A = this chain, B = another copy of it.
Amino acid sequence: MIAPPDPVPPSLVVWLIEDNDAYRIAASRVIEGMRDVRAVRGFRSCEAALRALEAPGGEPPKVILLDVGLPGMSGIEGIPLLRARAAGAQIIVLTVFEDSEKVFRAICAGADGYLLKGSSFDAVRDAFDELRRGGAPMNGRIAKLVLQAFAKPAPAQTDYGLTGREREVLERMVKGLTKKVIAAEISLSIHTVDFHLRSIYQKLHVHTRTGAVSKAVREGLF
């Protein structure tokens, strides 16, 4: 219930990278009117914004609103470059795309938030508030995609009914050890390790060490 003290200076420099002139100009005007926003600067492409960052002088941005579908370099490609050159800037993706493919590529590239253009400009204002509180602004439908992506692998959590010894052996096999070394580590004959190995093959439905290791790592067993 208690709001933490405001850690962010009260005026933001916002950059807006968006190729649609009408949208960019309209959005700039609205954002400029928001409280705590000192300046808004618009760009038609990532390349243009990157050039501005290289140029001497000029105030560095605190927030970058970034479209994905841009001419030349896409917004997703631009994220790591912008992050490298604009230290401390929060990069918020602002786009129409809500297919999981693009969303995840943007998130993996290091976006600090993900908004949809379909929402009202209030969402942008709320996003600034969220950043100020130390959180990440994220559209609800995007959040749903993210949650679904996490929830999927959960049911695949089968341990294939491996016994204790079998898990011990498999764990060491994943680490790249040979049967001989494994046998020494858990004080067994190499033949016994081999037996457990074959039980593992049977339970995982593979017949090589590589197949077993691949499956074990993929299923998140180790």
A contacts, CB < 8 Å to B: 1-2, 104, 107-113, 118-120, 130, 133-144, 146-147, 150-151, 153-154, 173-178, 206-215, 217-218
18 A–B contact pairs at CB < 8 A?
A107-B147, A107-B150, A112-B147, A113-B147, A130-B140, A134-B144, A135-B144, A136-B144, A137-B143, A146-B146, A146-B150, A174-B214, A176-B208, A176-B210, A209-B209, A210-B213, A213-B217, A217-B217
Cβ of A198 to closest chain B Cβ, rounded Å = 15
Residue of chain B at shortest CB distance from A112: B147
Instruction: Assess whether B138 is in contact with A108, with CB atoms less than 8 Å apart.
Output: no
How many identical subunits does the complex contain? Answer: 2
Cβ of A91 to closest chain B Cβ, rounded Å = 11
Q: How far is the CA of A217 from the CA of B216 in the complex (A)?
A: 10
B-side contacts of A133, CB under 8 Å: 140-141
Q: Choose one: B1, B176, B209, B215; the contact of A206 (CB below 8 Å).
A: B176
Instruction: Assess whether A150 is in contact with B1, with CB atoms less than 8 Å apart.
Output: no
* A112-B147, A209-B210 known; A136+B140 contact, CB < 8 A: yes
Cβ of A38 to closest chain B Cβ, rounded Å = 22
Instruction: Assess whether B211 is in contact with A214, with CB atoms less than 8 Å apart.
Output: no
Q: How far is the CA of A139 from the CA of B143 in the complex (A)?
A: 10
* A151-B110, A176-B206 known; A136+B143 contact, CB < 8 A: yes
Residue of chain B at shortest CB distance from A218: B217
B-side contacts of A137, CB under 8 Å: 140, 143
Instruction: Assess whether B135 is in contact with A143, with CB atoms less than 8 Å apart.
Output: yes
Question: Apart from A108-B151, A108-B153, A137-B140, what 15 extra A-B contacts exist at CB < 8 Å?
Answer: A1-B119, A108-B154, A110-B154, A112-B147, A135-B140, A135-B142, A136-B144, A136-B146, A136-B147, A138-B140, A138-B147, A175-B211, A176-B207, A176-B212, A176-B215
B-side contacts of A143, CB under 8 Å: 113, 135-138, 143
